[in-house]
Amino acid sequence: MTHVKVGIVGLGLMGGSLSLALKKLPEDYYFIGLDHNELHCTQALKLGLVDEITYSLETLKSCDIIFLSIPVDGIITIVKQLGSLDPKCTVIDLGSTKEKISLSIPSNIRHNFVTAHPMTGTEKFGPTAALENLYSDKVVVLCDMQKSGEYQDKVSKELFSAIGMNIVCMGAKEHDRHAAFISHMPHALSYALANSVMKQEASESIIDLAGGGFRDMSRIAKSSPNMWEDIFRQNKFNVLEAIHTLQSELKKCEKLVENDEWHALNKWMTDANTLHDIL
């Protein structure tokens, strides 16, 4: 049986977990990995996440499918270096912001690309963090699909469906605004919460008193600062809008408490409860 050659740029949580998910499928996949981190390369080979390591984009261009699972700035750099591609090559980026990536892809290879955002992850990173079920039952957003080739559209949707993902399609600009409120702003909040507590409380008190609620809200503050710096930079204006909206709600809470408006505070919190009628 002819194997499908899959290139993975970035052998961390997302790229490694993708390899594990695809290995569960009946297709014969052969994985070629590329990562600037030598330790990640060594670990990925040892864990069986890839069959070989390359340091050349030219080698990856022989693959049937190429996944770009690196920070957004790195994705944009690589798409400008690829040059020409085989018409049947499918390149799928997994960046957390989409509009600048979509607009940065050279027109001569735009049909080769599918700009995707799997709405999943953990606060851990590196090949050792890879999980075979990371993508299962999660949403993947495919953006600007009218710009992708018909073949690439089919390949990407069949692949994401095969690993158990639920596909949602929308424009890249629309995606970035929604992601700012649902994903990016909560990360900013978690970092702010962690910094606020660290500046006010002794580590002993944090260990003794931190319950499940605090641990849940601060967990994602362990996420990679380098990755999230990229995301905030690429989605700056949407992130700022989301943060300003959050600040407005916090200010409202502050005023209600300050003025002893307990009934209104209760109503404010009750309104927030309705979110879980949707989730």
Whether 160 and 260 map to the same domain: the answer is no
pTM of the predicted model, to two decimals? 0.85
For residue 191, give its domain range.
175-278
Asked whether residue 1 carries a pLDDT value surpassing 60, the answer given is no
Ramachandran angles phi, psi of 160, nearest 5°: -65, -35
Whether 180 and 112 map to the same domain: the answer is no
Q: What is the mean pLDDT of the chain?
A: 91
Q: Residue 277 has what pLDDT?
A: 78
Whether 155 and 222 map to the same domain: the answer is no
Q: How many domains does the chain contain in total?
A: 2
Whether 53 and 119 map to the same domain: the answer is yes
Which residue in the block uniquely carries the two structure tokens 């600009």?
Answer: 173
pLDDT category of residue 226 using cuts at 50, 70 and 90: confident
Whether 104 and 231 map to the same domain: the answer is no
- 49-105 confidence digits (pLDDT tens): 999 999 989 999 999 999 999 988 899 999 999 989 999 999 999 998 999 999 999
Nearest-angstrom CA–CA distance, 178 and 120: 15
Asked whether residue 258 carries a pLDDT value surpassing 60, the answer given is yes
Whether 223 and 268 map to the same domain: the answer is yes
Of 141, 170, 199, the last residue of a domain is 170
- Give mean pLDDT, residues 237-263: 95
Whether 21 and 154 map to the same domain: the answer is yes
Q: Residue 247 has what pLDDT?
A: 95
- 175-186 confidence digits (pLDDT tens): 999 999 999 999
CA neighbor of 140 nearest in space, from 112, 168, 176, 98: 168
Of 139, 170, 201, the last residue of a domain is 170
Of 130, 154, 170, the last residue of a domain is 170
Asked whether residue 221 carries a pLDDT value surpassing 90, the answer given is no
Ramachandran angles phi, psi of 9, nearest 5°: -95, 110
Whether 43 and 138 map to the same domain: the answer is yes
- For residues 121 and 14, the answer to whether their CB atoms sit within 8 Å is yes
Asked whether residue 217 carries a pLDDT value surpassing 90, the answer given is no
Sheet with 90-93: strands ordered across: 52-53, 29-34, 4-9, 65-68, 90-93, 113-118, 139-143, 166-170
Q: Which residues pair with 268 in a beta bridge?
A: none
Whether 20 and 138 map to the same domain: the answer is yes
Ramachandran angles phi, psi of 50, nearest 5°: -135, 160
pLDDT category of residue 207 using cuts at 50, 70 and 90: low
- Give mean pLDDT, residues 133-139: 94
